[in-house]
Structures are given as C-alpha cells and as structure tokens.
Chains A and B, each alone.
Chain A
C-alpha cells in the first residue's frame, strides 16, 4: 500500500526529519488560505499515487499567494495517468542549492534492508541507478541492530556531503530508518533531500510503500489507503479473500493456488489464447467463495470463456464440484466454461459435473485447448 506525499512527510516529521511548512487542501480556496498564511513563494503539488506528477503539470510554483487559487483550481481539475487529483499539498517553496537522494528498502537477495543515497538526487534517480550505479552509495543494515551512527557517517562521506552537515544528516538518516522500521515499510524515500541556500537540510518530497501483510499492526496507517489506485474488481475480490488481478485477454480463470494460477495463465497463452485475469481462490473452494470469484470474472465484458483449474489435494474433488454447481446456480451465465479437477475424489467430482452438463477436462493442456477454442468460437 502506497502513502501520499503529504502522508509520508507528516510521518517523517514524527521522527525528526525536517519538512517544509505546508498543509493539505481539497479546494482551491483552502489552498489560497494556506498560501496566504505561509506568505511568499509556495509550491502546489497534486497528491496522486503515480510517478511523473511534475512532468504532467501537477506541480506548480506560485511566486505570490494571489496566484495560488488559480493554479490549485487547474491542478484539482486534472487527471494524472488516469487518476483524479483530489487534494493538493501547499508547501513553502525552498531555495534549493543542492538535491540529494536518500532511501531505504528491502534488499531481497541480501535478506536485509538497504539504505541508498546519491549526490545526484531529484526526479531522475532511476536514470542514475541505470546509467551510473557507482553514484549510488548502498549500506546494508542489520535488521536486529538498526542503522548505526558510523553507517550514517559513511553514507554522508560517500556522497561528498560537506562535514558541517554530517550531524544533521545522521539524524535524518536514523530518522528514516525509524520511519521504515516503525511503519513496516517496504520503501521509505526522501527525494529530494535538499540543502537550502540558508544551509538547512529539508525533505522536500517523500514516498512510503507499506507492507500489506503488516497493516494489522498499523490501523492508523491502513486507514490512509487510497482506493483510487485499485481496480474496483480487485477491491471486491479482497473482501472475499481472493487474490485477483485484471488482465487484457478474454479467457477468465479461476484457480486454487498462486503458482498454479500463473501456470494456468501461461498455458492459455501457450495454446494461443489470452488470459483475462489472475485469480487465486486460495485454500478450499466453498460455494460462497467460488460464487464471488465467478461474479468478479464475469463482470469483465471481455470474457468469452472461463477455465476452472482446481487441484483438489486435501480438499475433496466432489466437494469442489458441488461448490461450483451451487455457485453457478446462483450466478446464471451463458458464457462457456471448462472445468479441470484433479486430486482426491476427482473422478466423483468430474461425474457430478458431467451429469450437470458441464464441460470437463482430463489434463491441464486439454483444459487450455478447450478454453481457447471456446473463446474463439
């Protein structure tokens, strides 16, 4: 789950990271009022959860509070990469001498958090990472000890930060570690961290991505979820404990298990079809869950055929078959479907389905072939 810039920066401030003065506004008149309170030059920033806000015109500088209402009106009317701008952040504009990048994330291969910094901060940090990775300093952190003072100094020296700033920088780096650690983030990033013309360090922009699995520890943060970034079908699926991702093809799939669901998508493609979604119904296959899954799949008007691939395992095949039939009784549909059932009591399950005039398949390849033919018919 991603947090907005203003939410991230407010969280940063709790851990002693200096941020610009500013507030969030939902209307242009609120924005104007905030700008008048701040006085002087301000920045009006669209709060949407996509990159490239600046390039899309979602970040504008106002030299005078009088300009703010007009600029905020423009930004609040925008859609950036399909997402509506519902709020703007109005911040005092800093006089920037230098921009630094500072971030912390999980290094999967090292099985540790890694703090990264670069003297070449600003919007194009991904470019820097690609073109000149040597300009990015990386320090791995022992998750049992946290960021050590000497590590923060090493980073400061590594990015050629003048010694006068080391102390403040160290506090900010340790603050960012706290942010990452206390919020169960998978990414906490200040970009840019600026040196102002009056020699202060200031976190001008911030980004946090939280671990969905850890949200139970953070009810305050999970309330901040912005539902605009998720497809309505994905939100609906989550309610039923289904893992669903919408894709562009026309063959809907319902599978138990994530690896098998991916494999089912792959084999549809292998036989010349295009999957309409990824859907893992998880363990068991109660008729309630199956019904919800079918509803979500059939909601997509592109779907021309549906493939069920259920590996019974410990769940019994006859139970799964009955669950599917009950669900189909509830969700009436003319879309052709093929069901492949394997594992414990699979034969009984297939018989039950055949008696109900459902198309069944013997193997995964057989199922994919049938589904592709159905979708093409």
Chain B
C-alpha cells in the first residue's frame, strides 16, 4: 500500500523528447516505473529508449493507445499550463508537473479548472513522487529511500532528498514521498496528503516538510489536531529568512507579516507535532 502511485501506475511523459524529459524517463524506467508512452507534439510515431517507449502527438491519442493513468510533465514553463489542461481534458486522473517557473495567473486558471473537473495535480515546481520499490514519478533519486512505513510530504526538492537520506541512514523506510512543490498556487496540498496518509494502511508515521510563505502549514496543523491519529514530525525551512525577499521558490516569501517560520512551528507544536531544529534530527523524533 502507498498513496497516489504504486506498481499499477501506467505513466505517460509529456515532453519526453526534451533533454530533461528523456533523462528522467531513463531514470524512472531503470527504477521500475512502467512508462507506457511519451507525448511531444510533432513527434508522434517516433520511439525513445531504443524502441521501448512510443511517442505520440497528443495525450488523448497516447492515452487511447496505452491506457496511461498518470502523466508527468517536463515541458518548459511557457507551455506547461497547456500541457496540464491537455492531460486533464484527455481524462488522466493524476497529473504530476515538475516544471518550474509557471506564471501564477496560469496556475490560478489551471487550479480553478481542475477543481471543477475533479482531477488531481501534484506540483508544479516539484520533484514528484516516489513509492520505494514500486514506482517513481518525477526526479526524486531512487537510491535514497527504501520501502517502509513513513509517509513524507514536502514543499521542497533537495531538502526532501536530505530527509529521505537521513531516514535511510537510520534504517527507516518510506511508504510514499510526495513533493507538492514550492509555488504559491499548487495542485495538491499538505492537507490532501495528510488525509491520504491517515487512510493508508501502510503508513504509520508522517514527516511534513514546510517552508516560509503562505498559510498551508497552519492549515495542516489544524487538520492534524482534529483528524490525525498517526504521529507527525515536522520541519520548517526559512527561520532566518528576511521578510519581503523571495527565497528561490516563488512561494517562499514572508509578506505582510504572514508566512513566518516561527508561526508555522508554533501552530504545528500546538497541534502535537514534534518539530525538528534541523533535518538530521527527524529520524530521532520519529523513534
């Protein structure tokens, strides 16, 4: 058991012939993910990875031909919103968008449209998902996590790897790791993942990795307090970040007195979450 992806995931890669798309397709296939199709408009009929994966002109054709149920997006930012709309309209149930730098108004249109259709988006500007031993969708390195019972949800990329690595070094396995992305408007939130981990039979404990900006961690804290029976350990990046400065991620900014790390840490602690001072403390807090 796991959340969102497992061995039944049949993956379609949008932007498969690009440098990033192709590189990570190889990595995902090597991990054991069943990548069944790629889409690059204008390159339908070609094959990639020595003839293993067929390329189609559109998501609709690819889905009809291969029965793909999940898509991962590597197309450049200016085309990414359209790629999400295309997958949603073609009936793909889970869309994972890795692309960074999508205009925020594009994401507001995407999010409002997807909410009406009931399609789940993970990302954008995220590392994707990893269910160790079963499936990897996105760019999380496969060799830094082993199967187990800790669910991980994070707004960050390499910081997530750091935490996975620390867990592995302490012989702790992971049920599923979800990178929800560092943009101000995204598809899947902490709340969605916490609810799924609470339901998931294979997840016993959860690690939540947040950062400055917005109020999603505070909402997560409220949800944990009211709805979670499984223990949660938290970490918030950006305690030393000055206000008004965007810390790399479009969403990581302290504005108008909201989004402070201290407020998030307090909200989580008040909800009974153990909050680590740095990522290497997380395994101990899980014990």
Cα-based distance from A369 to B278 in the complex (angstroms): 13
Question: Is the Cβ of A263 less than 8 Å from the Cβ of B237?
Answer: yes
* B109 CB to nearest chain A CB (Å): 5
Which residues in B have their C-beta under 8 angstroms from that of A214?
Answer: 103-106
Complex interface residues of chain A between 229 and 280 (CB less than 8 A to chain B): 243, 245, 247, 255-263, 265-270, 275, 278, 280
Question: Is the Cβ of B105 less than 8 Å from the Cβ of A181?
Answer: yes
Residue of A nearest to B259 (CB): A108
Cα-based distance from A134 to B241 in the complex (angstroms): 31
Which residues in B have their C-beta under 8 angstroms from that of A257?
Answer: 156-159, 248
Cα-based distance from A109 to B251 in the complex (angstroms): 12
Q: Does B141 contact A (CB under 8 A)?
A: yes
Question: Is the Cβ of B242 less than 8 Å from the Cβ of A247?
Answer: yes
- The interface stretch among B3-11, B67-75, B88-96, B207-215 is B207-215
Question: Is the Cβ of A258 less than 8 Å from the Cβ of B109?
Answer: no
Residue of B nearest to A214 (CB): B103
Residues 106-129 of chain A: 1 if any B CB is under 8 Å from the residue's CB, otherwise 0?
101101110000000000000000
Question: Is the Cβ of A269 less than 8 Å from the Cβ of B157?
Answer: no
Complex interface residues of chain B between 80 and 139 (CB less than 8 A to chain A): 101-106, 108-109, 111-113, 139
Q: Does A216 contact B (CB under 8 A)?
A: yes
**Given A109-B215, A213-B77, A313-B158, also A258-B252 (CB < 8 A):** yes
Question: Is the Cβ of A213 less than 8 Å from the Cβ of B250?
Answer: yes
Which residues in A have their C-beta under 8 angstroms from that of B184?
Answer: 106, 108
Cα-based distance from A216 to B106 in the complex (angstroms): 13
Which residues in A have their C-beta under 8 angstroms from that of B199?
Answer: none
Cα-based distance from A218 to B141 in the complex (angstroms): 36
Q: Does A343 contact B (CB under 8 A)?
A: yes
Question: Is the Cβ of B156 less than 8 Å from the Cβ of A342?
Answer: no
Question: Size class of A's contact patch?
Answer: 35 or more
Q: Does B229 contact A (CB under 8 A)?
A: no
Which residues in A have their C-beta under 8 angstroms from that of B159?
Answer: 257, 259-260, 262-263
**Given A111-B111, A259-B182, A263-B278, also A269-B158 (CB < 8 A):** no
Complex interface residues of chain A between 312 and 352 (CB less than 8 A to chain B): 313-314, 342-344
Question: Is the Cβ of B248 less than 8 Å from the Cβ of A280?
Answer: yes
**Given A186-B104, A259-B211, A343-B161, also A365-B156 (CB < 8 A):** no
**Given A258-B248, A261-B247, A263-B159, also A112-B141 (CB < 8 A):** no
Which residues in A have their C-beta under 8 angstroms from that of B182?
Answer: 258-259
Q: Does A144 contact B (CB under 8 A)?
A: yes
Which residues in B have their C-beta under 8 angstroms from that of A364?
Answer: 162, 278-280
Which residues in A have their C-beta under 8 angstroms from that of B238?
Answer: 262, 266
Residue of B nearest to A313 (CB): B141
Cα-based distance from A111 to B106 in the complex (angstroms): 11
Question: Is the Cβ of B141 less than 8 Å from the Cβ of A143?
Answer: no
Cα-based distance from A221 to B97 in the complex (angstroms): 28
Q: Which of A216, A217, A265 makes the CB contact (< 8 A) with B241? A: A265
Residues 1-35 of chain B: 1 if any A CB is under 8 Å from the residue's CB, otherwise 0?
00000000000000000000000000100000000
Which residues in A have their C-beta under 8 angstroms from that of B102?
Answer: 213
Cα-based distance from A357 to B212 in the complex (angstroms): 37
Q: Does A184 contact B (CB under 8 A)?
A: yes
Which residues in B have their C-beta under 8 angstroms from that of A247?
Answer: 240, 242
Which residues in B have their C-beta under 8 angstroms from that of A217?
Answer: 78, 103
Q: Does A67 contact B (CB under 8 A)?
A: no
Cα-based distance from A59 to B113 in the complex (angstroms): 45
* A254 CB to nearest chain B CB (Å): 13
Q: Does A142 contact B (CB under 8 A)?
A: yes
Cα-based distance from A269 to B139 in the complex (angstroms): 30
Q: Does B155 contact A (CB under 8 A)?
A: yes
Residue of A nearest to B257 (CB): A130
**A258, A344, A364 — most chain B CB neighbours (10 Å):** A258
Residues of B within 8 A of A (CB): 27, 77-78, 101-106, 108-109, 111-113, 139, 141, 143-144, 154-162, 165, 182, 184-185, 209, 211-212, 214-215, 235, 237-242, 245-252, 277-280
Q: List 15 A-B contacts (CB under 8 A).
A: A108-B184, A108-B214, A143-B105, A213-B77, A213-B102, A243-B248, A245-B246, A257-B157, A257-B159, A257-B248, A258-B249, A259-B252, A263-B278, A314-B141, A344-B143
